Structure 1
Amino acid sequence: MSFTLAQPVHSDLVVRKSRFIGCVQPVADRAAAQAVVAALRAAHPAAAHVCWALMAGGASAANDDGEPGGTAGRPMLEVLRHQQIEGALATVVRYFGGVKLGAGGLVRAYTDAVAQALLGAALVPLVRQRSLCCAVSYALEGLVRRELAAAGAVLEDVDHGDAVRFAFRLPAPEADAFIARLDDAAEGRVAWLPA
């Protein structure tokens, strides 16, 4: 099972005079991650490196930001994979302390910065969502709204035309049972549309 984070978590390590400020936070996609990294660069202009790793939307990415290849971003990404974390960005801001750490030392420091942050993380199980769309008569709008609320569905759109069209999401494991329950409650008067 995959997890995401309830909120950002931080760490702060000093390794042989270099400071490593780690953060792991939930993000939706690569664009959001790049905005976070840009903000970190602006907030830490004196930092030697701002390295990051991303697991979001089924895609992954890593950036060493000038550290020797494979010593920062990739090890950080492996920590996220090992912990089965999805929809998250790991960042480490490094302030160089004047002592070279070598490839092994860098890998350990970046890995530890992310792992230390995750020690304090509240993990939330990720449940795959399913998008559904249905249309009903105006007389059934209240019934559908009550069923959606009871199921904890996320209502994305309601369109009032010839009929009332609902677009919503709910956990995939519960979708088939919800469809059957709504069909039964509406006595078969629900038109299911492509989502």
Structure 2
Amino acid sequence: MPNNAHTYQTISSPSTSMFKDRGSKHYGYAFPVSSKEEISALIKELRNKNPKANHVCHAWVLRNNGNPFEYSTDDGEPGNSAGPPILGQLKSLDLQNVLVAVVRYFGGTKLGVPGLINAYKTTAKLCLENSTVVSKEDSIQLNLRYDYSVYNEVMRIIKEHKLDIISQDNQVSCTMLVQVPLSMKPEIDQRIKSLKCNSVEWLN
């Protein structure tokens, strides 16, 4: 994989953890994500699965046009005692396109701000330690419209470069949406256009 500004570190699959302190239980969840909509759905699912939890604190770092954007929330805990410690663990590993949420069940004894910071930080740290960190490359979507007569040539390019097909419709006038690594865009663009497709559109 190219080592350039288009690569970043993320996690390959979801992971979990659990940390206890003075009766309070903290359940950690890490997810690879790609959009705010996906994050909102995951947080909603966690809240629905944990209706008696006192807090669902979380933080994320999303990559957009090669730049990281971050967010954290204390979800009712004292200011900066939950979200920022979680976010700090993501940043310490330089992870992007990752969400970490910590679901807390209060155990009856207040932990105080230092205790809360340690609990959320530790839960996030354990969760990410249970994850597999991988390198990925930024990509762009290619929307194609072409006649069925060039279908085999299009598929040859897709297979040679091991591109991911998001969707396709193979009728008289075929359409295909493909995910292309940014480093491959110039070559793919040249080869696809040589086939004289009806429409070649790169989507940001």
Q: Partner of 1:84 in structure 2?
A: 94
Greater radius of gyration (CA): 1
State the AA in 1 paired with 2:100.
Answer: A
Q: Partner of 2:52 in structure 1?
A: 46
Q: Partner of 2:137 in structure 1?
A: 127
Q: Residues 99, 165 of structure 1: CA spacing in aligned structure 2 closer, same or farther, 3 A cutoff?
A: closer
Normalised by the length of structure 2, the TM-score is: 0.80
Structure 2 residue matching 1:130: 3-state secondary structure? strand
RMSD: 2.5
Q: Partner of 1:99 in structure 2?
A: 109
* 1:36 and 2:46 aligned: no
Q: CA separation in 2, counterparts of 1:101 and 1:39?
A: 27
State the AA in 1 paired with 2:129.
Answer: L
State the AA in 2 paired with 1:112.
Answer: T
Q: CA separation in 1, counterparts of 2:33 and 2:22?
A: 31
Q: Partner of 1:65 in structure 2?
A: 75
State the AA in 1 paired with 2:37.
Answer: A
Q: Partner of 1:190 in structure 2?
A: 196
State the AA in 2 paired with 1:53.
Answer: A
State the AA in 2 paired with 1:155.
Answer: I
Q: Aligned residue pairs: how many?
A: 191
* 1:145 and 2:155 aligned: yes
Q: CA separation in 1, counterparts of 2:173 and 2:161?
A: 22
Task: Report the identity percentage.
Answer: 27
Judge which range, 134-143 or 50-59, deviates more.
134-143
* 1:8 and 2:14 aligned: yes
Q: Partner of 2:118 in structure 1?
A: 108
Judge which range, 165-174 or 106-115, deviates more.
165-174
Structure 2 residue matching 1:34: 3-state secondary structure? helix
Q: Residues 133, 48 of structure 1: CA spacing in aligned structure 2 closer, same or farther, 3 A cutoff?
A: closer
1:52/1:89 contact within 8 Å kept: yes
For structure 1, the 5+ residue unaligned runs are none
State the AA in 2 paired with 1:130.
Answer: I
Q: Partner of 2:26 in structure 1?
A: 20
Q: Partner of 2:4 in structure 1?
A: none
For structure 2, the 5+ residue unaligned runs are 1-6
